[in-house]
Structure 1
């Protein structure tokens, strides 16, 4: 392959099989799986024990907190050893007349992989639409049920993105169709119930394939939205929900670099916008002024160190999600200008606004979790701020939150920037003397922040003396929008340097033993792992590399691969020589060298639609060709799954158990 006068030779390009039917490729993956089983055989008892241990902490019979939406209360239940939930509704919060909407276990019974993408009830509450994916490629098919008779309609919508919006006439729906090759959603179709999909009308097609596409409805249900989102630009089209045969129109002109989120309640639009505000500000507009930014009214001003992350509108109040110094808080505002903060006391935690379908509600539902506190659901009174705990995740066994401790520290990177790190450990096993094994996790891309949340599976490591650390490296938005900007494109190396520098500091400060350090990451975090082991392989005893994005340059040069064109603003467009050189400098596949690498476990899914299976497949065999050590290099492919791994609440624990057994086994060897 030659670009910009530079030649690369890829001896393993033949491993790419878009149809996933090549016998030689499939046999190679099966042999790799057999190799994993053989190498992990001495730790099979440990792996099975870890799976049983993690599964034993999960409550078998569990139920969500009911959510009111229109005339009904909705709830989901899981029971016994079932992998999936069943969905119900009732006419009161006590669920006195609870009736079944959908039994996902019955639907999944004959499938190795099964995922529900969306559940959407018609505005008159009579019909249920749901989407299903049977192989993990995230290509969803919609089916429709008459709720009262529990019978299916003849309508079936295939090759969709998995989300659907009802018009207010209860018979018209809008959905996004997938391109069969790139898997991009670029077309919105209108479907009328009772007609074949072949008669559906194309109502919008996006020609710029850097944009992702989604659908939604305004808070007051008066408008249907087509959301268009590139890495650095937002766009939105609108249709009157009462006139489904009308045309979608832009609310405001598309402007490169303008990112915003918008909602409508009554006569007012509320816009979280980065216009002249890198960390966003909240603006208000009317139907007459929405198209002219200069005429918008500022409601919450931009602040240099405070990132505005979200907005929820209610009839009496609105709630803004803010993040400062990495910590989330909620600010409840009245429309008259008064406000107060909702905060929590843990040193580091995650909280998010939950399901709040009713604008007329007098409480806001909030989800809360910390590294030592199981997931909790609060209803917070909008007028007083008083919190009522509705549910906390039950952890079976001998779990006691007080037995664990968490910390938030800052580590100074090589360029003098302070990197936040969240840590958790068991008090009785932790000594800050450099003796503990330590697992460090990272992601660092797309502005996605990996917040410190509770994980019952991680307890299996903490109880064995591990320290668990999350490195909040650049590329996330942990410290605001600039934190993201300095971890992408030409600044991408900052993400890798931050992770390595955090590891060195944690060892120096005695949080982990220099010869017992492990690292793990998935997807873009798998790219992180690939770059880190190229840069500083000597730091890590073992690395978990999951559904990893490793062949960055080749992928970003191929517009037929899903996600490529969408992500030029994230990684750069290597058709431009400067971006080509930037990516070439760190792309893990292109930078493998003849040297010692740590023990590495790589996992992927054959049907992965986000990062194609051949990226880790090629990386593993090239690494075997070059590496000079005798350390383990294991590659496991789930032949039935995609990017998210195995479906179901218990099946996914097998992969967790495999990684943990891999790490613990290295300590014992």
Structure 2
């Protein structure tokens, strides 16, 4: 990678000095000067000019990689079956699926009627196909497009859908008559994810967001009426809580879920009586999380009351009250979710760092756990809208097995492969190996690492390696297959996932030991994983690139400060690298809800000091850093664009010998480019940069 010369090291020189006004803040007796606070003004033309100059600098610095980027993009494209079809899913009298077409960026949502006696999905190319939504038509003329809600009514006559054309995740909700194709005039702006239909499809429940992008109100809308007639049926005043709404698989209840990071409260409305008052299933208690699934005469309750890794109970659906234990807490087994069918209950769980499924017949306490052949894998339920069925659909993948969709007979346990993700060009999983390593953290904790490499990749420290990590919100990065990753593996690059604390891979305690005043475990775990991979000759420090995004971007910034010599390069995507500033400002989107994850530095001086001690932006030092590629979206509402912009500016000022690149998508949000070809191009950009860092460009 070429290092920039002195004339390019300060892109701030493109901005008038009058605009570069630092700010000062004092909390708990500590005064801090922020030299780059002016970058937070998104409406200032000087800010936009600065970001555009950074983009131009990044393009100039990586211009020598243009050919490699095109090559990698071509490889991703050539391996992908561009015209394809998802496995159709039955709901009522229709099969639903999504089609993609070669040359088109977005999916096309379709359905075909179920023919008499038909029990299996139809073959491709049905003549009686009905197009419900064509994302390509909706996106026309827009740089960005995203669907939020896509919700067909129980009778199959209406479609509620919502769209976002900027990436800020504020959606406009509309209703389409699927019998005529007419989109009704009644539309609602500033809605969030999620919706629910009444049983007779006359009423639609939806959610709106507040100024901080928090979903907090549930509304009742009568189809065909103007939005001004809508009735707000629930409002959550506590800023720590998000609100969701959904229709149960049984079509019997609308559930309104209010949840913070550590507490829950669920209300139910009979779907056949949409004007009824919501009934609280269990009042909220601080620190008690629970979710609800309707099953016959009862509500199933998955909860953590006196059960760190959760337990399963039930209560009456007619008169919710005391909980009756169904599955007690079991050491080493984290119960993650529950799905009910008319005659079966399926529990998604986690054990020994791997996902699993447990099936229980109705009326029985006996259950069986499904078994899978590979040492590393990920499995979970996919779309299962039918309640009265003895077949469930699951998705299975591993580091070498493309995503595979199976139908599972819940009685005979027979698994039928419906589709495996096509990988064109003669992909053979036998050419690749997957491994599990264990790192030893500073406190003696064993941290799992999942690894994939092409067979024959040397184990003498000479191979380049990309180490991915996240480690927050109890979100698990489980083993998965990636077509784009093959472009690295086939060039001799090893790929590894560090299953660090703060995630949920090893249960709830794994998460608890990587949050609040234990957050630094996340960072030291990752460094331990990197050092273990070097020790075991998978790679060497000058051939190792770290990658993470969002809260995983915080991880990238923290380990850059903690162990700069451990990495040759770092890819930080939409990185949360200025967490202290953001968490100190309750007016910013999502801040108040985050206090239960990171702590409240406004009120607690210990939290303030702890966060300041690991914040990447606060701890940039005059040392030699790895090469850094930071990527962001101008319209991101989760991690605001100015966090990576400020971080890169401070890196250049404090440690000017390094190579630091900032790439901002000027028309996108947290998820980056929305079209699939644009997303492949971004992935090719990252891959080319990585290959350059490790000397393979």
Q: Same fold (TM over 0.5)?
A: yes
User: Which residue is equivalent to 1:424?
Assistant: 452
1:556 partnered with 2:583: yes
Counterparts of 1:70 and 1:574, CA distance in 2? 51
- From 69, 90, 97, the equivalent of 1:75 is 97
The range that moved more, 297-306 or 532-541, is 297-306
Counterparts of 2:87 and 2:694, CA distance in 1? 42
- From 526, 529, 553, the equivalent of 2:553 is 526
User: Which residue is equivalent to 2:36?
Assistant: 12
Counterparts of 1:284 and 1:174, CA distance in 2? 26
- From 273, 286, 296, the equivalent of 1:243 is 273
User: Which residue is equivalent to 1:36?
Assistant: 58
Kept after mapping to 1: 8 A contact 2:541/2:565: no
The range that moved more, 589-598 or 282-291, is 282-291
User: Which residue is equivalent to 1:202?
Assistant: 232
- The Cα of 1:198 is off from its aligned counterpart by 2.4
Counterparts of 2:314 and 2:207, CA distance in 1? 29
1:666 partnered with 2:693: yes
Instruction: Check 1:85–1:288 CA distance in 2 against 1; reply closer, same or farther (3 A cut).
Output: closer
Counterparts of 1:509 and 1:645, CA distance in 2? 35
User: Which residue is equivalent to 1:88?
Assistant: 110
Q: Which runs of 5+ in 1 are unaligned?
A: none
Matched position secondary structure for 2:257 = strand
Counterparts of 2:87 and 2:260, CA distance in 1? 35
Matched position secondary structure for 1:545 = strand
Kept after mapping to 1: 8 A contact 2:145/2:163: yes
Counterparts of 1:290 and 1:588, CA distance in 2? 47
1:330 partnered with 2:357: yes
The range that moved more, 516-525 or 55-64, is 55-64
User: Which residue is equivalent to 1:211?
Assistant: 241
The range that moved more, 168-177 or 598-607, is 168-177
Counterparts of 1:117 and 1:52, CA distance in 2? 30
User: Which residue is equivalent to 1:191?
Assistant: 221
Matched position secondary structure for 1:591 = coil
- The Cα of 1:7 is off from its aligned counterpart by 1.0
State the aligned residue count. 661
User: Which residue is equivalent to 1:392?
Assistant: 420
- From 626, 642, 655, the equivalent of 2:682 is 655
The range that moved more, 514-523 or 92-101, is 92-101
User: Which residue is equivalent to 1:147?
Assistant: 178
Kept after mapping to 2: 8 A contact 1:132/1:162: no
Kept after mapping to 2: 8 A contact 1:238/1:250: yes
User: Which residue is equivalent to 1:512?
Assistant: 539
Kept after mapping to 2: 8 A contact 1:349/1:371: yes
Deviation per residue, 1:158-202 (Å, 9 max, x gap): 1100321112232211111111x3111111112122222223222
- The Cα of 1:123 is off from its aligned counterpart by 2.1
1:478 partnered with 2:505: yes
Counterparts of 1:268 and 1:240, CA distance in 2? 13
1:158 partnered with 2:189: yes
1:348 partnered with 2:370: no
Counterparts of 1:287 and 1:126, CA distance in 2? 28
Kept after mapping to 1: 8 A contact 2:347/2:359: yes
Counterparts of 2:318 and 2:111, CA distance in 1? 40
- The Cα of 1:96 is off from its aligned counterpart by 5.7
The range that moved more, 218-227 or 129-138, is 218-227
Counterparts of 1:667 and 1:163, CA distance in 2? 43
Kept after mapping to 2: 8 A contact 1:307/1:322: yes
Matched position secondary structure for 2:676 = coil
User: Which residue is equivalent to 2:11?
Assistant: none
- The Cα of 1:338 is off from its aligned counterpart by 2.7
Matched position secondary structure for 2:475 = coil
Matched position secondary structure for 1:449 = coil
Matched position secondary structure for 2:185 = strand
- From 494, 497, 518, the equivalent of 1:467 is 494
User: Which residue is equivalent to 2:4?
Assistant: none
Counterparts of 1:613 and 1:640, CA distance in 2? 12
User: Which residue is equivalent to 1:47?
Assistant: 69
Q: CA RMSD in A?
A: 1.2
Kept after mapping to 1: 8 A contact 2:294/2:317: no
- The Cα of 1:355 is off from its aligned counterpart by 0.9
Counterparts of 2:629 and 2:50, CA distance in 1? 17
Kept after mapping to 2: 8 A contact 1:412/1:418: yes
1:610 partnered with 2:634: no
Instruction: Check 1:271–1:223 CA distance in 2 against 1; reply closer, same or farther (3 A cut).
Output: same
Counterparts of 2:523 and 2:214, CA distance in 1? 29
Kept after mapping to 1: 8 A contact 2:239/2:593: yes
Matches of residues 360-379 of structure 1 in structure 2 within 5 Å?
360-379=388-407
Counterparts of 2:273 and 2:240, CA distance in 1? 30
- The Cα of 1:289 is off from its aligned counterpart by 6.3
Kept after mapping to 2: 8 A contact 1:218/1:265: no
User: Which residue is equivalent to 2:432?
Assistant: 404
The range that moved more, 57-66 or 241-250, is 241-250
TM-score, L = length of structure 2: 0.93
Matches of residues 512-591 of structure 1 in structure 2 within 5 Å?
512-575=539-602, 576-591=604-619
User: Which residue is equivalent to 1:228?
Assistant: 258
Kept after mapping to 1: 8 A contact 2:572/2:628: yes
Counterparts of 2:91 and 2:454, CA distance in 1? 41
Deviation per residue, 1:52-74 (Å, 9 max, x gap): 11111110111011101122111
Matched position secondary structure for 1:562 = coil
Kept after mapping to 1: 8 A contact 2:672/2:679: yes
- The Cα of 1:245 is off from its aligned counterpart by 2.1
- The Cα of 1:155 is off from its aligned counterpart by 1.1
1:642 partnered with 2:669: yes
